[in-house]
Structure 1
């Protein structure tokens, strides 16, 4: 992809530790994308075939909770990566995602990134080191949100 895309992606703190060669190889598998507010980017259980670097705007991660509908787990903003389910089979989204405001992002082809990970162990290890903290943080946020949703109502507190 263009040097411009590499410059854009390298400006994000998430990718700051990525070696220049690895960054260029990753950017060759991505491209710019924009979404209007209120657009569902993906649905829980759908095929996890890409991931995004959010450059502008915000995206709500949601989880379908029986009897309560879609519950927002976390809101992601500029500089954040959206999507980690593409890393592990069965490559299905663990959450849903909907834009809260206009979003400009860089989208990456997950199958191409996985293929690159398989053929270049240095690239693959770098991706795992980047995304493992994201996975941990998102699961922790989900746990806290679910504890809040299912906690008994305190006296005087409406559920």
Structure 2
């Protein structure tokens, strides 16, 4: 399994600095909801410290953690893809500090600097591919455990 790509460290320093010029430092207290599935995705974050759980509402009362994110991880990619709605919810598992980016400002920067835009999309695609690989592994493990338990 490959190591997770970190958005900011994957960009060359000059492009990283251009992107960071749009960042706002934010914090979320432990157990706070950062965003809800279905809400408008108009921003994203890079976690600086703490832990974030991506959660899926399975029933009206049950949520399942589908991924855990930590320092350096990208939180949120739905801002890139129509209909620009969050697919999952996100909760602060511990106190979290993060860089917050306004999606419209980042997209404008990418139009001004197409090379930065291409690099950003490639890095995000690599991050998504890695998370998909992890999810696939978890699902295979989950179903093999259940198959053994019922067989």
Counterpart of 1:140 (choices 120, 133, 141) is 133
Structure 2: tracts of 5 or more residues without a match? none
State the Cα RMSD in Å: 2.6
TM-score, normalised by the number of residues in structure 1? 0.79
Give the conservation status (yes or no) of the 8 Å contact 2:50–2:96: yes
Give the C-alpha shift of residue 111 in structure 1. 1.3
Q: Which residue of 1 aligns with 2:149?
A: 155
Q: Which residue of 1 aligns with 2:118?
A: 125
Structure number with the bigger relative contact order (C-alpha 8 A, sep ≥ 6) is: 2
Give the conservation status (yes or no) of the 8 Å contact 1:73–1:145: no
For the residue of structure 2 that corresponds to 1:16, the secondary structure is helix
Give the conservation status (yes or no) of the 8 Å contact 1:53–1:107: yes
Structure 1: tracts of 5 or more residues without a match? 1-11
For the residue of structure 1 that corresponds to 2:25, the secondary structure is strand
How many correspondences in the alignment? 146
Q: Which residue of 2 aligns with 1:29?
A: 22
Give the C-alpha shift of residue 127 in structure 1. 0.6
Pairs within 5 Å for 1:5-154: 13-66=6-59, 69-145=62-138, 148=142, 152=146, 154=148
Task: Name the CA shift for 1:93/1:16 in 2 (closer, same or farther; >3 Å).
Answer: same
TM-score, normalised by the number of residues in structure 2? 0.82
